């Protein structure tokens, strides 16, 4: 097994590194395709009066559901105004947030 060392205590196999780079490229391609499909789906649902009902398509045992979420109004706290009025600290508290591990692929600018 070949290890690639980038910085102190950062070891990864060359195979895993190659896979992560490939996988990151696929995620980016998938995101572009997903955005294009969402735009097309929105247009299709709107043009065919299906915004309320949604749409279902099946292919080789897979089922694709497309639903539209309508814009809606919600209540939101104006923290900037609370800070200006000096009451923000009265209604906030410190809480622990669960840690997480992220993987990010960086590319050389060529």
For the chain, helix (H) and strand (E) counts, in that order, are 2, 4
- Read off the pLDDT band of 59 (50, 70, 90): confident
pLDDT digits (tens, 9 = 90+) for 11-33: 777 888 889 899 999 999 999 99
Least confident among 9-13, 40-44, 80-84, 98-102? 9-13
- Cβ neighbors of 68 (< 8 A, separation 6 or more) are 42, 45, 51, 54
| Gyration radius from the chain CA atoms | 23
């Amino acid at each position: 097994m070949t290890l690639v060392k980038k910085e102190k205590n950062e070891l990864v196999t060359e195979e895993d590194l190659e896979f992560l780079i490939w996988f990151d490229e696929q995620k980016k391609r998938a995101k572009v395709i997903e955005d294009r499909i969402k735009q097309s789906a929105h247009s299709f649902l709107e043009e065919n009066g299906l915004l309320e009902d949604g749409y279902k398509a099946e292919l080789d045992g897979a089922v694709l559901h497309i639903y539209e979420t309508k814009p809606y109004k919600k209540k939101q706290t104006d923290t900037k105004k609370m800070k200006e009025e000096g009451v923000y600290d009265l209604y906030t508290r410190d809480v622990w947030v669960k840690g997480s591990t992220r993987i990010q692929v960086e590319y050389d600018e060529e």
